[in-house]
Amino acid sequence: MRVFRSEPVETALKPGDTCRVGIPPTVVHVVEVHHFDPPRVTGMLPRPACYLDVLPQGETYDPELEDQAYAFDPAGGEPIRVRLLFRPYAFLEPGDEVADRDGRTWRFDAAWDWHPADGASPGAPAWPLALLSRGGEPTPEETAAVGRATAAGSHAEELERWTALTLASPATGQW
């Protein structure tokens, strides 16, 4: 993934020329978030405590490909501004357990990674959802937030909205 660009393009430059280097506004989707505690020793300062692996709009993640994603430190030395456009299931946290409209219990691990407690075939829960567990008993506020967020809509609508923004599909093996 080519992130940085130069004006004029590198092929038009010769020694002594002046150019601008930067990242034009770019829509990406986050493939993975890496947290480092303590911060990672890279030989550069500041030491990164987090990396985001991202793919450009239009590219679907393929777990078989090495180094497909571009990794960057969102708090690093580059003047990068990140703005969240959409996070599927923003009202849930990995590991949450919910009950769906049909009374089935599900564990949420990621937007397209649902596990039914009854061992039936994978899929996605039918909205609305009721939060059952979030690292223990959820607070009334957390339970109410999930109920409000899923009072209308569906998993298919979350997927459609994400797909429209990323112009990609969830990784193979997911949804």
**Rounded distance between C-alpha atoms, residue 64 and residue 5, angstroms:** 28
Digitized pLDDT (tens) for each residue of the chain, 175 residues in all: 778 889 999 999 999 999 999 888 889 999 889 999 999 998 888 899 999 999 999 999 888 888 889 988 988 888 888 899 999 999 999 999 999 999 999 999 988 889 999 988 888 999 999 999 999 999 999 999 999 999 999 999 999 999 999 999 887 554 4
pTM: 0.80
* 71, HSE (Cβ side, Cα atoms, 13 Å): 11
* 15, HSE (Cβ side, Cα atoms, 13 Å): 0
